[in-house]
Amino acid sequence: MQFKKKPVSPPLNHAPRISPRVLTYWLAASVIVYGLANQYLPGIFIGAVAYLSVFPQLSNLVINALFRTKNQETVDNKRSLATLFVDSLNVGVLITLVNFPMVSGMLLVILLAGWAIYLQGPRGLLITIPSAAAALFIHHFIELNITISTGKDATFISLLGMLIFVSYLAYTLRHREQHFQAIQLSAQQQRQRYSRLASSLAKYLSPQVWESIFSGKRNTKLESQRKKLTVFFSDIKGFTDLAEELEPEVLTELLNTYLNDMSRIALKYGGTIDKFIGDSIMIFFGDPKTRGYRKDALAAVSMAIEMQKHMQVLRKQWIAKGIENPLRIRIGINTGYCTVGNFGAESRMDYTLLGREVNLASRLESAAEPNQILLSHETWSLVRDVVLCQSKGDIQVKGFSRSVPIYKVIDLRRNLGLQKSYFELDTKGFSFSLDTNSIDEFERRKIIQALDEATQKLLKDDISSTTGSLQLQSRESKKQAFQLVN
């Protein structure tokens, strides 16, 4: 067995253990140590070395203790601003005390500005520059009797410290970039994995239910609500007998083709596919999305009509594969208030419908004849102005104390009369279905030619049959006349 190799994220080893901020303070302390070693600075600056060496860690402890809130993003922002403010004050004091030359002082300011932009972006300068300038301004009011001599290599030492800081900062940024790339790659892999998983799970749920769950609009809890829905049931008449005649592979292919085509039509009209029970299909309209009672009912009936017409196409495909038994479907549709929601257990639930209106739709489907669509009175009243129906009287339905009026669907009114676009006839030795809305001019001419040839053939056969009958009658008359004469 071969396993698919899992993509590996970039390694995150060798993470920098020293922050650029700590390195900056240590570099400043090193410069002062260099000045002390070369007697550029008096011995009092040993205290500055100790201060600069431990200040970053101590300031972090104090700032972290001062700013504590539940919002981590707000905490990080406040800590960053406080750190910049303190660091800018230190830079200003350091420049004034050490009496750095212009080049060295400017380099320290550049370091501080770069660190501010690193932490806060351009707005970090609004904190660092004013506070550093304030420290420089205070120096004018404080006179320190400290003798400081400047070595010739002070500028070189400052530039060297600058180079070390910039190099280390570039290394830190490079590592952070690799870290973000690794996180991005891992997130992309997770998204692809969850996308494949979601696509697989979506096949077990109706698209409308799947969308409402994954968008967070619907909770996966055992709950339900009352809604007025239109419920659709259908099954294939004689499918059980056919299942006993066909091989399992052929039967599986036939059933999957049928269910796939019917599902495509259901989704076209916005139906929520509830379940498949063998060759039976349960679909409802009005949840999780609804267009109103009337439009939901009309969509359900229009879907049923298209399903019946599509069965002509499927029957021809099945006959071509040797399945002579013409399979036909029967459909029942009802509209009423149902209980819709999640039913089952916490570990395994099903989004479905319950109620007497659901049962009535199922009973109508059982009472329908092959190639027939039966509607309840409620559904008929919602679609009667668009769909032509024929009253079939009242029937007694199991589970209902009173008889139920039912209506047989003829077709959409726009397809009837002078505007009729669909014709169908299926008899022994002749099968005919025509949808004028779906054929172009070239196909129309071919159909007219084929119908004309069929008509000529039928007329010729009818004339031959009539002539033969007349000749037979003439011979019989002559025979009878001869017998009478003799």
Q: Concatenated DSSP letters for 263-318?
A: HHHHHHTT-EEEEEETTEEEEEESSSS-S-HHHHHHHHHHHHHHHHHHHHHHHHHH
Q: Concatenated DSSP letters for 48-71?
A: HHHHHHHHHHHHHHHHHHH---S-
Question: Look-up: residue for tokens 């004013």?
Answer: 130
pLDDT at 193: 86
Distance CA 282, CA 299 (A): 15
pLDDT at 111: 67
pLDDT at 437: 65
Domains, the chain, with CATH or none: 20-186 (no CATH), 213-420 (3.30.70.1230)
Which pLDDT tens digit goes with each residue over 168-189? Answer: 777 877 887 888 888 888 888 8
pLDDT at 265: 95
481 CB-near residues (< 8 Å, 6+ apart): none
pLDDT at 363: 94
Which pLDDT tens digit goes with each residue over 376-399? Answer: 999 999 999 899 898 899 999 888
pTM above 0.75, yes or no: no
| Residues in the chain, pLDDT under 50 | 1-13, 470, 478, 481-482, 484-486
Q: What type of residue is 287?
A: D
Query: Which is nearest to 321 in space by CA: 251, 240, 260, 424?
Result: 251
Q: How many CB atoms lie within 10 A of CB 394?
A: 12
pLDDT at 377: 95
Distance CA 59, CA 78 (A): 14
Pairing of the two strands 372-376 and 328-344: parallel
**C-alpha radius of gyration, the chain, whole number:** 44
pLDDT at 24: 76
What the block records as the tokens of 230 is: 């239109």
Query: Which is nearest to 207 in space by CA: 288, 297, 300, 307?
Result: 288
Query: Which is nearest to 235 in space by CA: 261, 203, 259?
Result: 259
Helix (H, G, I), strand (E, B) or coil at 98: helix
Distance CA 73, CA 383 (A): 57
Pairing of the two strands 272-277 and 280-285: antiparallel
What the block records as the tokens of 372 is: 């027939």
Would you say 461 and 429 are in contact if contact means Cβ atoms under 8 Å apart? no
